[in-house]
Amino acid sequence: MNHRKSKFAQLTGSVYAVFIFLFLYAPIAVLIALSFNASKLRSSWGGFSLRWYISLFQNQRIMQALATTLLIALISAAVATVIGTIAALVLHSQRGALKTALLNLTYIPMLNPDIVTGVAMLLLFTFVGYHMGFSSMLLSHIAFNIPYVVMSVLPKLEQMNPSLVDAALDLGMRPLSAIVKVVVPEVMPGIITGFLLAITMSIDDFVISFFTTGPGVSTLSIEIYSMTRRGVNPEINALSTIMFVVVLALLIAVNLRSDKKDGEMINIG
- Confidence band, pLDDT 50/70/90 cuts, at residue 3: low
155 occurs within a structural domain? yes
Q: What percent of the chain has pLDDT over 90?
A: 28
Backbone angles phi, psi at 187, to 5 degrees: -105, 10
In a domain, 90, yes or no: yes
Closest listed residue to residue 210, CA positions, set 224, 229, 197, 195? 224
In a domain, 147, yes or no: yes
Task: Give me the mean pLDDT over the 228-240 stretch.
Answer: 82
Identify the sign of the CA torsion 103, 106, 110, 113: positive
The domain in which residue 69 lies consists of: 60-232
Q: Is residue 71 part of a domain?
A: yes
Residues composing the chain: 269
Q: Is 160 inside a domain boundary?
A: yes
Domain CATH code at residue 127:
1.10.3720.10
**Residue type for 89, please?**
L
10 burial (CB, 10 Å; 0-12 / 13-18 / 19+) is exposed
Look at residue 53 and tell me if it is in a domain.
no
pTM flag (> 0.85): no
Considering the domain boundaries, does residue 34 fall inside one? no
pLDDT bracket for residue 211 (50, 70, 90): very high
Domain count, the chain: 1
pLDDT of 113-150, one tens digit each?
A: 889 999 999 999 999 999 899 999 999 999 999 999 99
pLDDT classification of 164: cutoffs 50, 70, 90: confident
Q: Are 109 and 116 in contact (CB under 8 A)?
A: no
Per the domain annotation, does 95 fall within a domain? yes
